């Protein structure tokens, strides 16, 4: 599938390289054409020759059958505006987390704001793990493939993102509709707080057999 990525930073690099390696066509985008082209060339090398293209925001939005937005919160509004109408009606993966302590505002979740701005079929995913986890081939811990929750409303968009999760060697998990994306954003903020406090956040949850269901 053709994947247009709004962003050329860590998340674009990690996930875009994996998907290029898996046989998808990938285009990244950034603010400066030369820097973005340099990063795309580096990704092509890491992806063992699977060509990663570089473009501007509008070109990446146009290119993607599926798009992913992976930019800093400070630039999110401007980038979505520059990406323009090409995002409307297409699957769009949102990986964003609020930045910094106190950055998370439960009254203003990011995913529905992206849907409002773009008219895209937004799927929230990949926001719970550090970028280095998305570079692992595959992300498996103690013999268990990483599970990736997805929140979204459009069945075709969810199916496309499920396939991209599987391409990483991960297991997609149904996280409910886009209204539940706010919970994923809050979960990331909570877990990041535990990790930065030195706690093993994974240890706070019991196995399914002891979940009381
Ligand atoms: N890093 C992680 O571990 C991680 C994990 C989960 C989710 N996320 C989320 O993924 C998204 C991208 O994170 P990242 O780690 O890939 O970030 P990054 O490496 O800092 O890359 C940021 C990207 O945002 C673009 N950008 C556009 N406007 C910007 C502005 N005004 N200020 C700063 N950057 C701007 C940058 O463009 P240029 O290329 O032109 O610089 C760059 O492509 C964020 O929403 C973050 O919350 C990150």
The β-bridge relationship of strands 144-145 and 140-141 is: antiparallel
- Taking 90 as the threshold, does the pLDDT of residue 63 lie above it? yes
- Taking 90 as the threshold, does the pLDDT of residue 110 lie above it? yes
Percent of all residues in the chain with a pLDDT value above 70, rounded to a whole number: 100
Ligand 1: centre distance to CA 5 (Å): 11
pLDDT at 210: 96
Nearest atom, ligand 1, residue 97 CA: 47
Average pLDDT over residues 166-195: 97
Average pLDDT over residues 57-76: 97
Query: 134: pLDDT confidence band, cut at 50, 70 and 90?
Result: very high
- Taking 80 as the threshold, does the pLDDT of residue 101 lie above it? no
Ligand 1: centre distance to CA 206 (Å): 32
- Taking 90 as the threshold, does the pLDDT of residue 156 lie above it? yes
Pairwise CA distance, residues 193 & 98, whole Å: 12
Classified by CATH at the fold level, domain 2-210 comes out as Rossmann fold (3.40.50)
Pairwise CA distance, residues 60 & 116, whole Å: 19
Query: 142: pLDDT confidence band, cut at 50, 70 and 90?
Result: very high
Tell me the pLDDT tens digit for each residue of 26-35: 999 999 999 9
Query: Does residue 193 contact residue 102 with C-beta atoms inside 8 Å?
Result: no
Ligand 1: centre distance to CA 11 (Å): 7
Pairwise CA distance, residues 144 & 4, whole Å: 30
pLDDT at 205: 94
Q: Where are the domains of the chain?
A: 2-210
Please tell me the residue having the least CA distance from ligand 1 atom 11: 70
Please tell me the residue having the least CA distance from ligand 1 atom 17: 9
pLDDT at 48: 87
- Taking 90 as the threshold, does the pLDDT of residue 20 lie above it? yes
Q: What is the mean pLDDT of the chain?
A: 96
Query: 49: pLDDT confidence band, cut at 50, 70 and 90?
Result: confident
Strands (E) across the chain are located at 2-6, 25-29, 52-55, 66-69, 91-94, 121-124, 140-141, 144-145, 147-152, 171-174
- For 14-44, the three-class secondary structure string (H helix, E strand, C coil) is HHHHHHHHCCCEEEEECCCHHHHHHHHHHHH
Give the DSSP letter of residue 49.
T
- Taking 90 as the threshold, does the pLDDT of residue 100 lie above it? no
pLDDT at 102: 80
Tell me the pLDDT tens digit for each residue of 184-210: 999 999 999 999 999 999 999 999 999
């Amino acid at each position: 599938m053709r994947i247009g990525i709004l962003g050329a930073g860590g998340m674009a690099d990690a996930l875009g390289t994996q998907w290029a390696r898996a046989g998808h066509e990938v285009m990244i985008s950034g603010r400066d054409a030369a820097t973005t082209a340099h990063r795309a060339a580096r990704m092509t090398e890491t992806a063992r020759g699977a060509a990663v293209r570089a473009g501007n925001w509008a070109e990446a939005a146009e290119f993607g059958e599926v798009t992913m937005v992976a930019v800093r919160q400070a630039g999110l509004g401007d980038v979505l505006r520059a990406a323009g109408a090409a995002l409307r009606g297409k699957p769009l993966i949102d990986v964003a987390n609020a930045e910094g302590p106190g950055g998370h505002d439960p009254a203003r979740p990011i995913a529905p704001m992206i849907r409002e701005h773009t008219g895209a079929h937004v799927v929230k995913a990949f926001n719970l793990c550090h970028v280095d986890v998305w570079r692992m081939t595959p992300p498996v811990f103690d013999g268990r493939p990483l599970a990736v929750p997805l929140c979204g409303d459009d069945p075709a968009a969810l199916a496309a993102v499920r396939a991209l999760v599987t391409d990483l060697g991960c297991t997609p998990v149904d996280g409910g509709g886009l209204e539940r994306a706010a919970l994923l954003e809050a979960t990331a903020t909570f877990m990041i707080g535990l990790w930065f406090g030195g706690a093993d956040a994974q240890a706070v949850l019991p196995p399914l057999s002891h979940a009381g269901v």
